[in-house]
């Protein structure tokens, strides 16, 4: 009879250990999935901020001539900031720059690339960023 009680105690300890290991692995998996979800959220917020920058640029309704005048004041005539960093929330912001595209004879065509960079920040540190680009034919 005493052997049977020892077996039941051993069986109970083994089953408790197995259940504890399963619970710990489940907790680890949940923590990993939560971290991945947070990363995806920050990436998406940076991407949406970049899209907001492109929409802001479109709303300005600048002509190619306006951009050329802005480039004259910039240190780099080919790439210059049109919209400095705009803060959307405590974590997200964007900035927009324009790259004028020269033709092979070094004259500027009326094509330009608008680059909007969206940021997700924690304090002054950039956690995630995303660049959206659009090619425009000037008017």
Residue spans of the domains in the chain: they are 2-137
pTM given for the model: 0.77
- Across the range 97-116, mean pLDDT stands at 81
Please state the φ and ψ torsions of residue 91, each to the nearest 5 degrees. Answer: -120, -25
- Does 3 score more than 70 pLDDT? no
Q: What is the CA radius of gyration of the chain?
A: 28
Q: How confident is the model at residue 137 (pLDDT cuts 50, 70, 90)?
A: confident
What is the Cα 61 distance to its own chain's centre?
Answer: 26
Do residues 42 and 120 lie in contact, with contact meaning Cβ atoms separated by under 8 Å? yes
Q: What is the DSSP string of 45-68?
A: HHHHHHHHHHHHHHHHT--HHHHH
The larger pLDDT score, comparing residue 82 to residue 139, is at: 82
Tens of pLDDT along 74-104? 888 888 999 999 999 999 999 999 998 876 6
Mean pLDDT, the chain, whole residue set: 90
Instruction: Please tell me the least confidently modeled range out of 39-53, 59-73, 82-96.
Output: 59-73
State how far the Cα of 138 lies from the Cα of 94, in Å rounded to an integer: 23
Among left, alpha and beta (phi > 0; psi -120 to 50; other), residue 106 is left
């Amino acid at each position: 009879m005493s052997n049977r009680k020892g077996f039941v105690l051993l069986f109970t300890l083994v089953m408790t250990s197995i259940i504890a290991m399963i619970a710990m692995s489940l907790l680890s998996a949940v923590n990993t999935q939560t971290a991945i979800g947070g990363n995806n959220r920050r990436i998406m917020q940076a991407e949406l901020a970049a899209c907001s920058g492109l929409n802001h640029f479109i709303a300005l309704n600048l002509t190619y001539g306006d951009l050329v005048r802005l480039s004259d004041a910039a240190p780099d005539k080919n790439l210059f900031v049109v919209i400095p960093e705009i803060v959307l929330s405590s974590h997200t912001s964007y900035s927009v720059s324009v790259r004028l595209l020269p033709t092979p004879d070094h004259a500027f065509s009326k094509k330009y690339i608008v680059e909007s960079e969206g940021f997700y920040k924690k304090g002054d540190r950039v956690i995630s960023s995303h660049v959206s680009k659009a090619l425009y034919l000037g008017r």
